[in-house]
């Protein structure tokens, strides 16, 4: 991306109070539907924004403030470039294709701020996640599978937090592998981390990335939201250990609701963690070497979480996600792909009633797809990866 375009992207990417989906949809509207450049968009008046882009008064007011910040953002963009940072928009071929696919326009960040080997963004990747206060068994598991992933040439994605995250990064580098570090803060506030990772960055074995404003300090909220990016950058997710709350738990539950493939270590008999509950929710059990679990005496995996279950909304989100990327499917095909424990006839009836799902008559059976407007939006956002 050309330097003079960066300030426009930054102004849109960090609009205060705007949801990621709204920002992405506006960028799609500007670039692909109206075929404006971002510079041309910001050159328009407030009235033109109202008329041409159907924005409301508050949104236009926010954009006016963003327009006023452009000179400062230009200086910041120049500072980032001079110090070896890159800014990658979702329209770039360098942007992670798997991140687009996993998070879609609703959650995929408009910009990635990065330093290091950007090629890692589009190589086979896995996330290794877990508790900050992980058990010895969980940390041993982490080192074992990261050693395997290093040998297989898979990029390990982690969050640089204490416990499993840090162990995953260290083990991966120890065995000659490559890693993506996802920050819970702005990329300009990670100075001590860059010093520690300097050699690996120079050698091309590490990429550090952030989705937040470059000067944003660490916070609990950013750390929680960062987990979505860790999971989104990964084709598979491996859980060493999870508590019943916190980033690992919420990330896995959200991922399962989206139909993600998530592997969870089967804990030892005396371990107190939430791993078995996650397995009962649909995660795939694996042993302490990361291999398919074959069973141990005294282990009961089909436990129930007494506090929560999947809501109708999470099931609908999974359905929309599946049907936005596939050709129309029958109820039976949908049931098999999402591994739903429901009668095919009942599922078909549910699909017919959903406003977001389109019913397509067929010779032998009905097929279902996401509604056309949502499908088109998905295609526009993912046009470089589909």
pLDDT digits (tens, 9 = 90+) for 146-176: 999 999 999 999 999 899 999 999 999 999 9
Identify the weakest region by mean pLDDT among 9-13, 148-152, 350-354: 350-354
Determine the pLDDT at residue 375.
55
Mean local confidence (pLDDT), 17-28 = 95
What is the rounded CA–CA span in Å between residue 251 and residue 83? 33
Q: Which of 110, 109, 114, 38 is nearest to 80 (CA)?
A: 114
Question: Domain boundary residue among 84, 109, 132?
Answer: 84
Q: Say yes or no to pLDDT of 254 above 60.
A: yes
Q: What is the pLDDT of residues 185-197, one digit of tens each?
A: 999 999 999 999 9
**pLDDT tens profile 199-252:** 999 999 999 999 999 999 999 889 888 989 999 999 999 999 999 888 899 888
Q: What is the pLDDT of residue 377?
A: 63
- Which CATH number covers residue 337? 1.10.10.10
210 inside domain: yes
First to last CA, the chain: 21
Looking at the predicted structure, is the pLDDT value of residue 296 above 90?
A: no
More confident residue, 377 or 334: 334
Cα angle, residue 368 at apex, residues 99 and 319 outer, rounded to 5°: 40
Provide the token pair at 276. 């078995």
| Averaged confidence pLDDT in the chain | 88
Q: Where are the alpha helices (DSSP H) in the chain?
A: 3-13, 20-28, 38-43, 46-53, 57-68, 70-82, 97-107, 136-152, 164-174, 191-196, 198-203, 220-232, 247-257, 275-280, 312-325, 331-338, 344-353, 372-381
3-state DSSP assignment of residue 272: coil
Task: Report pTM.
Answer: 0.79
Domain boundaries, position 25: 3-84
Residues 6+ apart with CB under 8 A from 288: 137, 140, 141, 144, 265, 266
Same domain (yes/no): 360, 243: no
47/307: higher pLDDT = 47
The per-residue pLDDT for range 23-72, each reduced to its tens digit, is 999 999 999 999 999 999 999 999 999 989 989 999 999 999 999 999 99
> Per the structure block, which two tokens stand in for 45?
């008046």
Min mean pLDDT across 178-182, 310-314, 348-352, 358-362 is at 310-314
Residues ≥6 apart with Cβ < 8 Å to 19: none
Residue 334 confidence (pLDDT): 85
Final residue before a domain boundary, out of 28, 62, 84: 84
Whether 164 and 254 map to the same domain: the answer is yes
Is 296 inside any structural domain? no
Co-location of 273 and 127 in the same domain: yes
Q: Are residues 64 and 122 in the same domain?
A: no
* pLDDT score of 372: 61
In a domain, 46, yes or no: yes
Whole-angstrom distance, CA of residue 25 vs CA of residue 181: 27
* Residues 262 and 366 reside in one and the same domain: no
pLDDT for residue 9: 97
Which residues does 227 contact at the CB level (< 8 Å), separation at least 6? 129, 159, 247, 248, 250, 251
Count of domains for the chain: 3
Same-domain check for residues 255 and 328: no
Q: Does residue 303 carry a pLDDT above 70? A: no
Q: Are 321 and 104 in contact (CB under 8 A)?
A: yes
| 242 & 339 share domain | no
CA distance 46 to 157: 42
Q: Using one digit for the tens of pLDDT, what is the confidence trace for 73-87?
A: 999 999 999 999 999
Domain co-membership, 262 together with 134: yes
Question: What pLDDT sits at residue 189?
Answer: 97
For residue 5, give the nearest of 51, 52, 41 by alpha carbon: 41
179 against 1, higher pLDDT? 179
Beta carbons within 10 angstroms of residue 161's beta carbon: 20
* Percent share of the chain, pLDDT over 70: 90
């Amino acid at each position: 991306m050309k330097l003079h375009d960066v300030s426009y992207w930054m102004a849109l990417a960090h609009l205060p109070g705007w949801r990621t989906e709204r920002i992405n949809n506006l960028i799609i509207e500007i670039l692909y539907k109206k075929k404006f450049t971002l510079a041309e968009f910001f050159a328009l008046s407030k009235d033109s924004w109202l008329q041409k882009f159907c924005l409301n008064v508050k949104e236009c007011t926010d954009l006016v403030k963003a327009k006023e910040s452009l000179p400062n953002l230009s200086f910041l963009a120049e500072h980032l470039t001079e110090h070896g940072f890159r800014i990658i928009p979702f329209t770039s071929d360098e942007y992670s294709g798997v991140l687009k696919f996993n998070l879609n326009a609703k959650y995929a960040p408009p910009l990635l701020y990065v330093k290091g080997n950007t090629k890692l963004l589009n190589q086979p990747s896995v996330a290794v996640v877990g508790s900050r206060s992980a058990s010895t068994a969980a940390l041993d598991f982490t080192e074992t599978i990261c050693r395997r992933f290093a040998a297989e040439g898979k990029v390990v994605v982690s969050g640089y937090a204490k416990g499993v995250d840090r162990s995953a990064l260290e083990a991966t580098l120890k065995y000659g592998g490559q890693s993506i570090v996802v920050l819970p803060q702005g990329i300009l506030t990670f100075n001590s981390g860059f010093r520690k990772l300097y050699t690996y960055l120079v050698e091309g074995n590490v990429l550090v990335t952030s989705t937040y404003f470059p000067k944003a300090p660490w916070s609990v909220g950013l750390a929680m939201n960062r987990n979505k990016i860790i999971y989104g950058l990964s084709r598979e997710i491996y859980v060493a250990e999870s508590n019943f709350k916190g980033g690992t738990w919420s990330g896995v539950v959200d991922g399962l609701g989206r139909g993600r493939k998530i592997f969870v270590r089967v804990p030892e008999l005396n371990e107190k963690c939430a791993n078995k509950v996650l397995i009962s929710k649909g995660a795939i059990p694996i042993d302490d070497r990361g291999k398919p679990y074959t069973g141990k005496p005294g282990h009961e995996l089909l436990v129930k979480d007494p506090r929560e279950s999947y809501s109708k909304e999470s099931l609908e989100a999974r359905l929309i996600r599946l049907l936005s990327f596939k050709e129309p499917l029958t109820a039976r095909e949908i049931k098999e792909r999402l591994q739903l424990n429901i009668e095919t006839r009942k599922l078909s009836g549910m699909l017919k009633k959903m406003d977001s799902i389109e019913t397509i008559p067929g010779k032998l059976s009905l097929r279902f797809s996401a509604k056309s407007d949502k499908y088109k939006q998905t295609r526009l956002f993912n046009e470089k990866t589909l």
